[in-house]
Structure formats: C-alpha cells, structure tokens
Chain A
Amino acid sequence: KAGVTQTPRYLIKTRGQQVTLSCSPISGHRSVSWYQQTPGQGLQFLFEYFSETQRNKGNFPGRFSGRQFSNSRSEMNVSTLELGDSALYLCASSPGLAGGPTTGELFFGEGSRLTVL
C-alpha cells in the first residue's frame, strides 16, 4: 500500500504570499489531518477532515484553511504568509469511522517544508 504523499516537499515563499499544500492519504483512509512542526512549538494540530467535512480545528488563525475532496485528498492553504509560518507541515491519514470515535492512529507523510522570507 502506498503511504501518505505530500507535495511539494520544499518551497520558499515571501511574506504576504499564499501557499497551497497537497496531501494524498493512504488508499481507503477517510480522515486527513494537518500539523505544523517547528523546533520551538513541536507538533501542533491544525485541522482534521473526514468525508469532505472539517471535523476538528486547532488553535490557528483563519489564515490557515483546508479542504478535502471526494477522493479523500486534502489541501491546506495559508494566506498572507508571515515569517513565523516557516515550518514543516505534516499531513496524516487515518482510517476513520463514520459512526463513532476514531482510534486516532496516524500515518504521516514526509511533510512539506515551507520557508518564508
């Protein structure tokens, strides 16, 4: 089974620009979640999507948004980039269950490393 695929792997942007990151989950996984990883803050939860609906959201400003498509692929967007947005953005997929709690076991991609100049 192919793993979680994230594109692009590396990108450089300047302040004020926007960026879109893409994530293809493991086949059959319906839950996709996004995380920001920085040396100072560690791994922080951004949001989770299940069946094209945002199910949970972390404590990030509205500049951070996402969506999920019918094939479970997901994108996240960061608008009006700030220097502090420089980070490794990780996507994780999980089988997910429609009718009840998920176990939450996550399968991570290799991440998209964003540098904001």
Chain B
Amino acid sequence: AQSVSQHNHHVILSEAASLELGCNYSYGGTVNLFWYVQYPGQHLQLLLKYFSGDPLVKGIKGFEAEFIKSKFSFNLRKPSVQWSDTAEYFCAVNGVSGGSYIPTFGRGTSLIVHP
C-alpha cells in the first residue's frame, strides 16, 4: 500500500522568508506526484504536478517542487513567501497500476505567513 508523509504539520513564517515543505512517499511503482493548496474558505486546487521528465517542476504563484526518486521525496519550495500564501498544503501521490490509480494524500501542512 502506498503512503504519504508530510513532516511539518504547522509552519509559521514571516513574509519574505523561504519555505520548504517536506513530502515523502512509499510506493514501489510508477507515481504521479502533486501538491494541492487550500486557501481559507476556498476549495482544494492544484499547485503543481510531476508526471515524468525534469524532476524540478514549477507551479503557480512562484512555487516549485523537486522529485528525488532515490529519496522518494517531492518537497515543495518557495524562495520568498507572501501573506497570501497562508493556506493548507497537501502532498498527494497516485500510484499508477493497471490503468487506474488510488490517490493518497498526506495529512497536510498548515502554513501561516505573518505580514
């Protein structure tokens, strides 16, 4: 069975600080990797995704993530956070098998950015 671990449950930063949220997964086969974000009062939306190719992927609002296959990790980064980045962030893994998938989400990281 696949699993996803997000190491930081709550992160508090000041504006302009750098951000790195850890995500590790366990699955033996091909994976598609995602970060989703849930802003206060809004629905979950895709931040970025990795399917194949360049392991460094860029998403919306200046976020990026790096897939390190040997470490089973897909950490999210942003060089300089803004107050508007305050949100809940979810790492998700889709283990690809037999033409379909079962998505597994991490528990989420609550990010608060102080102005």
Contact = CB atoms under 8 A, between A and B. Distances in A.
Interface of A: 3-4, 33, 35, 41-45, 48, 50, 55-56, 58, 90, 92, 99-111
Nearest to A3: B43
B43 A104 contact: no
B100 interface: yes
Given A90-B43, A104-B103, A106-B36, 10 more contacts: A3-B43, A35-B105, A42-B106, A43-B90, A48-B102, A56-B100, A101-B96, A103-B51, A105-B49, A108-B36
Contacts of A33: 103
Interface of B: 32, 34, 36, 42-46, 49, 51, 90, 92, 94, 96-97, 99-108
Contacts of A104: 32, 34, 94, 96, 101, 103
A43 B34 CA distance: 14
Nearest to A6: B43
A105 to B, nearest CB: 6
Nearest to B104: A45
B45 to A, nearest CB: 7
28 contacts: A4-B43, A33-B103, A35-B105, A41-B107, A42-B105, A43-B90, A43-B92, A45-B102, A45-B104, A45-B105, A55-B100, A56-B100, A56-B102, A58-B102, A90-B44, A92-B44, A101-B97, A101-B100, A103-B49, A103-B94, A104-B103, A105-B49, A106-B34, A106-B44, A108-B36, A110-B42, A110-B43, A111-B43
A38 to B, nearest CB: 10
Nearest to A41: B107
Contacts of A45: 102-105
A48 B108 contact: no
Contacts of A50: 100
A45 B2 CA distance: 12
Nearest to B107: A42
A103 B48 CA distance: 13
B44 A108 contact: yes
Contacts of B101: 56, 101-102, 104
